Structure formats: C-alpha cells, structure tokens
C-alpha cells in the first residue's frame, strides 16, 4: 500500500486522532458560529420588534400603519396651508380696505378744513359789512 496503514492498535488510535482533530475543530467552530448566529438573530428580532412598535400604532381594533398616519398629517398640513393662504388674502384685502378708508378720511379732513376756512372768511366779511 502507500505506508499509512496502521499495523497495530496504537497506530490505529494515532491515525484516528490525526484524522479526528480537524473534524472536531470544524464541529466546534460550526457550533460556535451557530450560537453566534442565533444570538445575532435574537438581537435582530428584538430590534425589529421595537421598530414595529414604533411603526404600528397599537390602539383601536385595527391599528393603522405609519403610512396612514403620515398621509393624515400631510393632508392636515395641506389644509392648514390652504387656510393660511385664505387668511393671508383676507388680511391683505382688509389692509387694502383700511388704507382706502384712511385715504377717504384724509380727503374728508382736507375738505372740512377748507370749509372751516371758508366759514371763517365769510364770518370776517360779515363783520366787515356790519362795521
């Protein structure tokens, strides 16, 4: 043969030890890898559970998903924006109206002052005529 066959029980035991060493090492490494993978899987499962609790609201009969909540917030903000635009338009319109009233009041003030001057002049003329 090729010279590796054991001729005694002691030789057979030595051959078994030489061959079984890498096999045992491989089995130990595989088991450690499985344990590490199992722990990692458990950690990932806990993290996913935590994320799920943040994403899925656990209230009511059928918990709405986060997307529904986000869509509702977006709709509400769009409605709020539309209301803000409407309010801005109303304020602008009121400002224009108030400015027009202010201009009218100033115009009336000038007319009243002119009438007052005219009345004073008429009063002076009447005094001159009476003298």
What does the pLDDT profile of the chain (131 residues) look like in tens digits?
456 677 788 888 888 888 888 888 888 988 998 998 888 888 888 888 777 666 665 555 566 677 777 888 999 999 999 999 999 999 999 999 999 999 999 999 999 999 999 999 998 888 888 87
In a domain, 75, yes or no: no
What is the chain's length?
131
Whether 108 is covered by a domain: the verdict is: no
Q: How far apart are alpha carbons 70 and 74 in whole angstroms?
A: 6
Does 100 reside within a domain? no
pLDDT given for residue 20 in this prediction: 85
Output b/e per residue, 39-58; b: 16+ Cβ within 10 A. Answer: eeeeeeeeeeeeeeeeeeee
User: What's the pLDDT score for residue 57?
Assistant: 58
Let me know if residue 111 belongs to a domain: no
Is-above-0.75 flag for pTM? no
For residues 85 and 79, the answer to whether their CB atoms sit within 8 Å is: no
pLDDT, residue 56, reads: 63
Parent domain of 38: 1-55
Six token digits for residue 45: 């499962």
Task: Please report the pLDDT score of residue 1 as a whole number.
Answer: 47
The pLDDT, as a whole number, for residue 115 is: 92
Is residue 30 situated within a structural domain?
yes
Which of 79, 51, 56 has its CA nearest to residue 67?
56
**Residue 6 within a domain:** yes
Residue 41 lies in a domain: yes
Number of domains in the chain: 1
Query: Does any domain span residue 20?
Result: yes
């Amino acid at each position: 043969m090729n010279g590796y066959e054991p001729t005694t029980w002691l030789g057979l035991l030595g051959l078994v030890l030489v061959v079984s060493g890498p096999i045992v090492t491989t089995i130990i490494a595989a088991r450690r890898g499985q344990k590490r993978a199992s722990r990692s899987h458990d950690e990932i499962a806990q993290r996913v559970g935590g994320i799920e609790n943040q994403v899925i609201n656990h209230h009511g009969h059928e918990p709405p998903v986060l997307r529904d909540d986000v869509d509702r917030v977006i709709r509400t903000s769009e409605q709020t924006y539309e209301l803000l635009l409407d309010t801005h338009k109303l304020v602008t319109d009121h400002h224009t109206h108030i400015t027009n009233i202010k201009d009218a009041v100033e115009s009336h003030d000038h007319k009243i002052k002119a009438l007052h001057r005219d009345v004073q002049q008429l009063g002076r003329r009447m005094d001159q005529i009476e003298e």
